[in-house]
Copies of this chain bind each other. A is one copy, B any other.
């Protein structure tokens, strides 16, 4: 049923009608309203699902003695996110494009999610600062820049290119990480 919300990803929230959805899903109008209160509800459920999975895919850097290198952990985060979004391409479209202007509540939820992401990044920066690895900077601004950069690259990677396009995720992740680590680390210091 939910896979019929590929429609949201393809056509956007407003361009997708209940008629589209029930037809794709092969169910009756009434049945739809049996499971969802309204159009907004299914959309919200879809987005909540993705945000949850994203929240789980992203883990704060573990600085414990046994933990893998910070670089490794960050790369793994990137990999998990890319993989997840690659599977849920249509939901990604919702996340990056389709969810705006629907509702104040909705916008807030999304803003909150992105804010959480930005804070996660910022907390990593602050951690680095404390360890003397990250140079002093406006951590809020930098974390926003990092977040936005990720969004844009993922957007390009996953939505602008066809689904089966060959891509070197490893190289890509490294590129991004390099850009930001170099941009942010104290000179001379390097990631393990």
Contact = CB atoms under 8 A, between A and B. Distances in A.
B171 A138 contact: yes
Nearest to A173: B141
Interface stretch (A20-28, A44-52, A62-70, A94-102): A94-102
B145 A149 contact: yes
A178 B138 CA distance: 11
Contact of A179 (B15, B101, B184): B184
Interface in A5-40: 11-15
A152 B147 contact: yes
Contact of A149 (B11, B13, B144): B144
Which of A100, A101, A102, A160: most chain B Cβ within 10 A?
Answer: A101
Interface residues of A, number: 40
A151 interface: yes
A54 interface: no
B100 A137 contact: no
B98 A176 contact: no
B153 A144 contact: yes
A142 interface: yes
Contacts of A15: 101
Nearest to A185: B182
A16 to B, nearest CB: 9
Interface of A: 11-15, 97-98, 100-102, 111, 137-138, 141-142, 144-153, 155-156, 160, 171-172, 175-176, 178-184, 187
20 contacts: A12-B100, A13-B101, A15-B101, A141-B172, A142-B179, A144-B156, A145-B149, A145-B153, A145-B176, A145-B179, A145-B180, A147-B149, A148-B152, A148-B153, A148-B155, A151-B152, A178-B183, A179-B180, A182-B184, A183-B183
